[in-house]
Amino acid sequence: MRFEVIAFDADDTLWHSECFYVDTQSAFTALLAHYGVEPQTALDVLHRTEIANLSAFGFGIKGFTISMVEAAIEATAGAISAADIRTVIELGRTMTGHELRLLDYAAETVTQLAEAHPLMIITKGDLMDQERKIAASGLADYFSRVEIVSDKTPKTYAALLRKHGVSPDRFLMIGNSMRSDILPVLDLGGWAVYVPYALTWAHETGAPPAAHPRFYEISHLGLLPELVARIENGG
């Protein structure tokens, strides 16, 4: 058996992303502390607002920034000043300009796998922000296909596989999110490799399907080429 396509998630699979959200949240809670809002209260309101806004604004920095503004108004009962609302917006804008840092082994692994397999990026988020990060990564030339989607569901993956003429049982997805990268692909009959990241949004977590015959977990991307070879050789 040989994989027709090997696909990667981008944020926190190929490069760091969640750490910048954590840093921004820390600045957000520090700002609201001036209004007497406890840090955990500020985070609870923000996370609840993010979840409520997903259907309207989707994933990514723009939706996160809008949620910060809305959460700041709610958590301070409308007391937050216009100047501090501007500060919140600047926190979101700053996230779009952070320096991209690849995860360990990302470049070597992508380079090696691209020698024998078509590679794809399937990622969620803002179109402009994800395009910027893909270009800045230095890895763009190794991926023959890039798909930036609003969400990752079995329906989303099924549509992408039909679009590219890929059979689910010859499709491998690598990512750090059980909810978005692993479970939907297994539901379709595909293969999935989970690479845990130290910081993962609670909304993206889930129970590992440890007994599933097409599910694998590795500690870092450097182990992926050997695993791919073993799967393809029937090991």
Q: What is the pLDDT of residue 203?
A: 43
CA dihedral 59, 101, 20, 57 (to 10 degrees): -10
d(CA 58, CA 43): 19
Task: Show the tokens assigned to 98.
Answer: 């952070």
**Spans of the chain below 70 pLDDT:** 18-19, 198-208, 235
Domain check: are 86 and 126 in the same one? Answer: no
Domain check: are 142 and 55 in the same one? Answer: no
Domain check: are 188 and 109 in the same one? Answer: yes
Q: What is the pLDDT of residue 200?
A: 52
Domain check: are 204 and 150 in the same one? Answer: yes
Which candidate, 127, 150, 155, 130, places its Cα nearest to that of 140? 130
Domain that holds residue 180: 5-16+101-232
Task: Decide: residue 86, CB within 10 A, 0-12 exposed, 13-18 middle, 19+ buried.
Answer: exposed
How many other β-carbons are positioned within 10 Å of the β-carbon of residue 106? 22
Domain check: are 201 and 168 in the same one? Answer: yes
Domain check: are 226 and 122 in the same one? Answer: yes
Domain check: are 89 and 117 in the same one? Answer: no
The CATH number given to whatever domain includes residue 71 is 1.10.150.240
Domain check: are 223 and 108 in the same one? Answer: yes
The CATH number given to whatever domain includes residue 195 is 3.40.50.1000
- How many structural domains comprise the chain? 2
Q: Which of 95, 123, 156 is the last residue of a domain?
A: 95
In this structure, are residues 134 and 121 in contact, taking their beta carbons and an 8 Å threshold?
yes
